[in-house]
Amino acid sequence: AQSVAQPEDQVNVAEGNPLTVKCTYSVSGNPYLFWYVQYPNRGLQFLLKYITGDNLVKGSYGFEAEFNKSQTSFHLKKPSALVSDSALYFCAVRDGLHGSGNTGKLIFGQGTTLQVKP
Amino acid sequence: GAGVSQSPSNKVTEKGKDVELRCDPISGHTALYWYRQSLGQGLEFLIYFQGNSAPDKSGLPSDRFSAERTGGSVSTLTIQRTQQEDSAVYLCASSPGQSSGNTIYFGEGSWLTVV
């Protein structure tokens, strides 16, 4: 079964410092990995995804993520954090669309709260 | 451009009442998902529609929950005889469909409070 783990409930960084939000995954077959961000009282916004190709994926708002197959990780990174980056971040793996019972649904981690302090 | 639209954005209902939550997906998207987000429970898959195929209802938590999708577009999630534990944010999402690489886009959610 596909699964995603976000080992940190909360990450605290100072504004201007680099940030990393960790994610590890377990899949059968090729992984399709996603990051979403949720601001308070809002829905989920897509940040970036890894499908194939370059291991470093660039996304919205200056975020990037590095796919590491040997470590089964897909950590979210940003070189210089902003206070406005403070939000809840979700890593997800997409279930395959083929085969019995597969819906292509996203399977989410528990989320990591990022707090960026001035 | 139009994203996934959900209504109502907020709903307060009395225990035992029925509620309907509506989702209007992005135009042309054939796949539609409902998720529930509860405090401390993360994001829980409820149901999936793909085109004219039979929906995958495997995530619905009880028979009080049902959903339909009319004409392959708008979807309604119905919760009958609401209970306090149904209080949550109900998120709808849509995707172009058949490729696992397609992005799934979410609406702003319907915030349901059962009192």
Query: A27-85: per-residue pLDDT in tens?
Result: 888 889 999 999 998 999 999 999 988 999 999 999 999 999 999 999 999 999 999 99
Residue B9 belongs to some domain of the structure: yes
| pLDDT at residue A98 tops 60 | no
Per-residue pLDDT of chain B (115 residues; tens, 9 = 90+): 589 999 999 999 999 999 999 999 999 999 999 999 998 778 999 999 988 888 889 999 999 999 999 887 999 999 999 999 999 999 999 998 767 788 999 999 999 999 9
Look at residue A45 in the predicted model and tell me its pLDDT: 96
Cβ distance of A104 and B58 shorter than 8 Å:
no
User: Per CATH, is A3-117 categorized as 3.40.50.300?
Assistant: no
Instruction: Work out the minimum CA distance from B38 to partner chain A, whole angstroms.
Output: 11
Residue B35 belongs to some domain of the structure: yes
Q: Is residue B45 within 8 angstroms of chain A, CB to CB?
A: yes
CATH number reported for the structural domain that contains residue B61 in this entry = 2.60.40.10
Residue B115 belongs to some domain of the structure: no
Domain residue ranges of chain A, discontinuous segments joined by +: 3-117
The range of the structural domain enclosing residue B32 comes to: 5-110
Rounded to whole angstroms, the Cα distance separating B15 from A33 reads 39
Residue with tokens 């796949």: B31
Rounded to whole angstroms, the Cα distance separating B94 from B3 reads 9
CA B74 to chain centre: 11
Radius of gyration of chain A (CA): 14
Look at residue A94 in the predicted model and tell me its pLDDT: 86
Q: Which of A32, A43, A103 sits opposite B101 (nearest CB)?
A: A32
Look at residue A27 in the predicted model and tell me its pLDDT: 86
Look at residue B41 in the predicted model and tell me its pLDDT: 72
* Of A86, A81, A46, residue with least CA distance to B4: A46
Q: Is residue B65 within 8 angstroms of chain A, CB to CB?
A: no
Look at residue B70 in the predicted model and tell me its pLDDT: 85
Using CB atoms and an 8 Å cut-off, which of residues 74-93 of chain B contact chain A?
Answer: 91, 93
Sort out which chain B residues have CB atoms less than 8 A from A90's CB and list them: 43
| pLDDT at residue A100 tops 80 | no
CB B19 within 8 A of CB B79: yes
* Better-predicted residue by pLDDT, A110 or B102: A110
Residue A58 tokens read as 């660039």
CA B9 to each of CA A21, A24, A77, B24, B28: distance values in angstroms, whole numbers, following the listed order: 30, 33, 32, 13, 23
Cβ distance of B100 and A110 shorter than 8 Å:
no
Write the burial class of residue B3 (CB in 10 Å: 0-12 exposed, 13-18 middle, 19+ buried): middle
Total tally of structural domains belonging to chain B: 1
Look at residue A105 in the predicted model and tell me its pLDDT: 84
CB B6 within 8 A of CB B111: no
